[in-house]
Amino acid sequence: MNQIIESLLSRKSVRAYEDRVIPEEVKELIIRSAMRAPTAGNQMLYSIVEAADPKAKEILAETCDNQPFIAKAPLVLLFLADYQRWYDYYIASGVPELCSKKGEKIKKPKEGDLFLACCDALIAAQTSVVAAEAMGIGACYIGDIMENYERHKELFDLPEYVFPIAMICFGYPTEQQKEREQPERYKQEYIVFKDKYKRLNKEEFDDMFKSTNDRLFGDGVHINGAENYGQHMYIKKFSSDFSKEMSRSVREILKNWK
Ligand SMILES: Cc1cc2nc3c(=O)[nH]c(=O)nc-3n(C[C@H](O)[C@H](O)[C@H](O)COP(=O)(O)O)c2cc1C
């Protein structure tokens, strides 16, 4: 099989790493690959910050929903949706003067600009993951970087038009991680549609989640009051404290873009 496809089909998130440094030249290849990712208007509406300071990694392990493996990752990269650089460039290029000549006010970055910058940052992020995996390095996204905005803003000096959309931990996988089974995915028929979007009904949901539901709730098991996978995920993810903190934190960041 083609090596890229093989790598894509066999990948899984890696959360335990060998105590082994990622060589500079390998890190450089990961970053160079990320920077070749498609980018809206070739503007590179993102910045990448390496959290290299072990103290910063310790803080992130706590602020990102208490995930200790973050502090142990040999390489931690933040992918920031970034309109600050372009806005600063517009100012430096005399755009305010141009606007005032036309009797207009300079436009500030808005919600659409933020979403575009998020697309750029995430595409670069996933490209870095693919590059790392091609070189035998495992990776794991940390979505919780969107939480605790005030602390991350201070820690990394984030200006107002920079949104920390993703963080990725990288490292060589331990043997246990290499052997760990890939998590299953849902059937294509529930994810991929032709021509029109399709909302699923109860029977389709039952089929879609059957194997997960059977595995976790097979013999009338209850988990924290939940009797099926839907209830379980609602409690564990959707209405959890970390999800509420993420929404609070994102609301705080969005104030800059409104
Ligand atoms: C946006 C995003 C956020 C994620 N955040 C976390 C996280 O905070 N902690 C973690 O251990 N895994 C995180 N993951 C990894 C997912 O849990 C993982 O991709 C999913 O369980 C599927 O497993 P796989 O990647 O091994 O196929 C995240 C993945 C994505 C795409």
Which residues have any ligand 1 atom within 6 Å of their CB?
12-13, 15, 67, 140-144, 183
The phi, psi pair for 20, rounded to 5°, reads -145, 130
pLDDT of residue 220: 87
- 203-250 tens-digit pLDDT: 999 999 999 999 999 988 999 999 999 999 999 999 999 999 999 999
pLDDT of residue 20: 97
pLDDT of residue 219: 86
User: Ligand 1 test: best mutation among 13, 122, 142, 241, most atoms within 8 Å of CB?
Assistant: 13
Distance between CA atoms of residues 166 and 77, nearest Å: 8
**Which residues, in sequence order, are bridge partners of residue 142?**
167
Closest atom of ligand 1 to CA, residue 65? 8
Number of helices (H) and strands (E), helices first, in the chain? 13, 4
43 burial (CB, 10 Å; 0-12 / 13-18 / 19+) is middle
Closest atom of ligand 1 to CA, residue 14? 26
Mutual orientation of helices 241-254 and 149-156 as an angle, nearest 10°? 60
The phi, psi pair for 195, rounded to 5°, reads 70, -45
What's the rounded mean pLDDT across residues 134-139?
A: 97
Instruction: Judge whether residue 149 has pLDDT over 90.
Output: yes
For residue 56, how far is its CA from the centre of ligand 1 (angstroms)?
A: 21
